[in-house]
């Protein structure tokens, strides 16, 4: 994938009254994803291979370490107080997503995962605050530009109280219900 394609992200701005209606009516090209982040409709192209490899390596570790009690979804639509997000991975209590609509208020979500790409500031700030406001217990961020893995925990009043950062290559302890050290080598 060329750098020009990889860095593409398009943003539309609407009045507050029309924003959600425009977002819900939006038809994105196959493989693209549209999110409503802090009053902006953000459409991004399919991710590059490094992005998808990082997600796969984390999902694989969680599946091996937590075979029961945790469900996984790639690209589940979440309704949070400041928008509509599609995390790179969503981990929930078993059966929490069963019967849920495309856009879901995230009850039963244990952790969300984002891997930075063309708009890392959205993952670092707006999404962190949105996930915390939705009381999602853990937000795991693979920050490829900063070459670090960040775990936000203890949501409180629209942000997380605790942040743990490790450089890529250092293990990152994941609290229960995961309860293991995430190997972070080869994630960026």
Q: Give the residue from 111, 89, 99, 103 showing the smallest Cα distance to 36.
A: 103
Tally of domains within the chain? 1
Q: Enumerate the β-bridge partners of residue 113.
A: 89, 140
Peptide bond into 177 cis (omega under 30): yes
Q: Is 137 part of any domain?
A: yes
How much of the chain, in percent, has pLDDT values that exceed 90? 73
pLDDT at 16: 58
State the pLDDT confidence band at 17, using cuts at 50, 70 and 90: low
Specify the CATH number for the domain of residue 124.
3.90.1570.10
Mean pLDDT of 154-177: 97
Q: Is 118 part of any domain?
A: yes
pLDDT in tens, 101-114: 999 999 999 999 99
Range of the domain at 161: 48-182
pLDDT in tens, 25-73: 888 888 899 999 988 889 999 999 999 999 999 999 999 998 788 999 9
Q: Which tokens go with 74?
A: 């790639």
pLDDT at 15: 53
- pTM as predicted: 0.88
Q: Does pLDDT of 7 surpass 70?
A: no
Q: Is 17 part of any domain?
A: no
């Amino acid at each position: 994938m060329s750098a020009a394609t990889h860095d593409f992200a398009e943003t539309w701005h609407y009045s507050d009254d029309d924003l959600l209606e425009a977002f819900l009516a939006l038809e994105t090209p196959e493989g693209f994803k549209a999110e409503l982040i802090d009053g902006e409709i953000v459409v991004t192209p399919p991710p590059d291979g490094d992005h998808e490899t990082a997600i796969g390596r984390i999902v694989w570790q969680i599946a091996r370490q937590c075979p029961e009690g945790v469900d996984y979804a790639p690209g589940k639509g979440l309704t949070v107080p400041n928008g509509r997000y599609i995390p790179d991975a969503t981990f929930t209590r078993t059966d929490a997503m069963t019967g849920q609509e495309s856009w879901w208020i995230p009850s039963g979500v244990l952790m969300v995962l984002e891997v930075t790409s063309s708009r890392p500031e959205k993952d670092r700030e707006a999404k962190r605050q949105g996930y915390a406001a939705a009381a999602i217990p853990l937000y795991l961020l693979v920050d490829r530009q900063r070459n670090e893995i960040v775990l936000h925990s203890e949501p409180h009043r629209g942000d997380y109280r605790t942040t743990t950062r490790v450089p890529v290559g250092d293990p990152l302890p994941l609290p229960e219900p995961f309860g293991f050290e995430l190997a972070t080598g080869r994630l960026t």
